[in-house]
Chain A
Amino acid sequence: MNQAKELRGALLGLLVGYAIAVFLAMVVSGSPSTVLLKAISVLFDPYSLQINMSSVRYLLSLWGPVGLAALGLTLCFRARFITIAAEGQILIGMLITIWLLAYVVSDLSPLLGIAIAILASAFAGATLGTIPALLRAYFGANEILVALMVNLTVTILVSEIVSTHLRIGAHVITKSIPDHFRLCELSVLVFLISALALVWFIESRTSLGLIVKVFGSSRRTALTYGVNEAKLFLKLGVLAGALAGLGGALAALSFQHFLSAKLPIGFGYSGVLSAWLSGFSPPIALASSLLLSYIRLWAYAMMVEGVPEGFVLGSQTIIVVSALAGAYAMRSLNKEVKALV
């Protein structure tokens, strides 16, 4: 009952946040009426009321990296292993996929090429995932700060590789993935559902899932009963990293077919926020990542109307913080009512 009320508060806050973001976009854009119209009709045509399939397809593509990163992180966060390395893992996944398919194995059959790229990206993501896990387990280094530094290092290295080794011509831009390797949006959905099933299976049907739950609720108890913290964090870091790396590969295969000087940012951090907002529940993490992807899609549409680029990230914050505040307000209200009774 209380959870339902909190959810209602969160939804109300979400709408208020969306209204604030729309208002801000209207104020700064050259055409407020168009902004208002797009605010309510990103996914459908406002005149014929038909679904705008290209927007829906793009939304599904954007959902891929965010959703996959969020799914892996739900397990990490549940075990109180708060890594935020997904940003770098997604970026490295994109880079490896583009490098392999556009430069190395561009003449392979589509199935084989895509399989190689996906495996390599997942492996790279998993490798990056081990860094915060190992340093936390063996050195007690704060995994959030380590992951942040890893993200920044990866961003600089990817940027360097794009602007030197993979650059073609005068502009800083890589080759594009050939058409025959590109995936349709439905395949992104298939990957998301498969990953959800995998995470659900691990969480509820394996000993790792049980250990995660025990460790999350009481670290001391888990350690007393012989749980190996280093091994646990390593497994979770590898799993979350592989999923985020896979997300990067999917992004490259579905919508980000090349990289330029301006690297695509924020997908990993959106995944972190989705996992955190979900209360570590995989299905809710998928739902919240869809919401954040929708906000991103809407903000991209606003950019066409002259709203600056930073608005993409800013609007996300306004909406998420409003939703959180709504849930909090409802929770506080409940407590006060209970106290009065």
Chain B
Amino acid sequence: MFEALISIAQLTVDMFTPLAILAVGETVLQRTGRANLGLEGFLALGASVAVVATAYSDNQFIGLFSAALAGALFSALYTALTTYLKFNQFAIGLLIGFLGLGLADLIAIIPDKPIGRPIESGSLIHLSLQVLPLVVAVIAFLVLTKTWIGVEIRAIGANPAIARERGLRVNEVRAVAATIEGLLAGLAGAYISLALFGGKYWTGMTMGLGWVALGCVILGYWNPIGAVLASYLIGSLKASRPYLGALGVPGWVADVSPYLATIAVLCAVGLLLKKRPQLKPPYFET
């Protein structure tokens, strides 16, 4: 029993670190009243770019840097279309996600040597990446709750129109949040291809984590630390699939539970708001 728990915990941290990284980034963005539905594309792009970059440079740092940069550039596109050109954020999120999936496939067929340099398990980079979501979540939590920038971010998320009237830099703050999210999503993608799958890329390798991350943000109630905890909770549920199977619980139950839990939390949020309006989540303009 104890061995099984250890094994589940290890598998959760190994496999679902990218989910936690993604969820923290998306939380930061959603606190500004923007939701990026295209995370799956960001993740695939990061994975693909990291493979190509390490295949050419044979350097993992260059791979990570390139993936983060690709994510940030993609975020710039998202920001330009949603914040500055004022297109619907949900439609653009989906579109950019599709573009990311398409570009990832295109980029992956460029190199002659299609295998990048993997990140070895237990290496310093590997451990750093595993600690990254926790560190970023704590920093993001402190910034959001203890600083003026955090107040600004929360005010923008709560009511962008009033925040704008009061002279807050709505567009700039959203652009910075989107860039942070893009950087983190790129790194998460790089972790998947370099650390989990030995420096290879193939279509569908992101396992739908981009969609699950959206659920984690809600399950964590738009709190960076909550989002990380939700990611590991969902990760452990998925990691315990073989054990659940042995207990007679079908595998699909573990697969659908994050999405059903997200729906349940969304409903609970609605009920809570009637009694405690101060718990209001960010407002998403449509």
**Which one of B81, B215, B259 lies within 8 Å of A321 (CB-CB)?**
B81
Closest B residue to A80 by CB, please name it.
B286
Q: How many B residues are at the interface, by size bracket?
A: 35 or more
Cβ–Cβ contact B91 & A276, under 8 A: yes
Q: Which residues of A contact B81 (CB under 8 A)?
A: 321, 324
Q: Which residues of B contact A310 (CB under 8 A)?
A: 44, 101-106, 203
The answer for the CA separation of A135 and B271 in the assembled complex, in Å, is 11
Cβ–Cβ contact A141 & B263, under 8 A: yes
Is B214 part of the contact surface with A, judged by Cβ < 8 Å? yes
Closest B residue to A160 by CB, please name it.
B252
Is B119 part of the contact surface with A, judged by Cβ < 8 Å? no
Q: Which residues of A contact B104 (CB under 8 A)?
A: 310
Contact with B along A79-118 (1 / 0, CB 8 A): 0101010000000000000000000000000000000000
The answer for the CA separation of A139 and B281 in the assembled complex, in Å, is 14
Contact with A along B28-59 (1 / 0, CB 8 A): 00000001010000001000000000000000
The answer for the CA separation of A24 and B252 in the assembled complex, in Å, is 38
Closest beta carbon of chain A to B259's beta carbon, Å? 4
Q: Which residues of A contact B98 (CB under 8 A)?
A: 266, 269, 313-314, 316-317
The answer for the CA separation of A315 and B95 in the assembled complex, in Å, is 10
Cβ–Cβ contact B95 & A320, under 8 A: yes
Q: Which residues of A contact B250 (CB under 8 A)?
A: 160
List residues 125-141 of chain A with CB under 8 A from any CB of chain B: 135, 138-141
Is B87 part of the contact surface with A, judged by Cβ < 8 Å? yes
Closest A residue to B106 by CB, please name it.
A28
Q: How many A residues are at the interface, by size bracket?
A: 35 or more
Contact with A along B138-152 (1 / 0, CB 8 A): 000000000000000
**Which one of B203, B214, B263, B284 lies within 8 Å of A150 (CB-CB)?**
B263
Cβ–Cβ contact B102 & A148, under 8 A: no
Q: Which residues of B contact A308 (CB under 8 A)?
A: 102, 105-106, 108-109, 203
Cβ–Cβ contact B90 & A144, under 8 A: yes
Closest beta carbon of chain A to B2's beta carbon, Å? 31
The answer for the CA separation of A164 and B187 in the assembled complex, in Å, is 36
Closest A residue to B99 by CB, please name it.
A317
Nearest first, the 9 A-B pairs at minimum CB distance are A314-B102, A310-B105, A139-B270, A308-B105, A140-B270, A313-B98, A317-B99, A141-B266, A139-B267
11 inter-chain pairs at a CB distance below 8 angstroms, sorted by A residue, are A28-B110, A139-B271, A141-B266, A308-B102, A308-B109, A309-B203, A310-B102, A310-B203, A311-B106, A313-B99, A314-B105
> Which B residues are within 8 Å of any A CB, using their own CB?
35, 37, 44, 81, 85, 87-88, 90-92, 94-96, 98-99, 101-106, 108-110, 203, 208, 211, 214-215, 218, 250-252, 255-256, 259-260, 262-263, 266-267, 269-271, 273, 284, 286
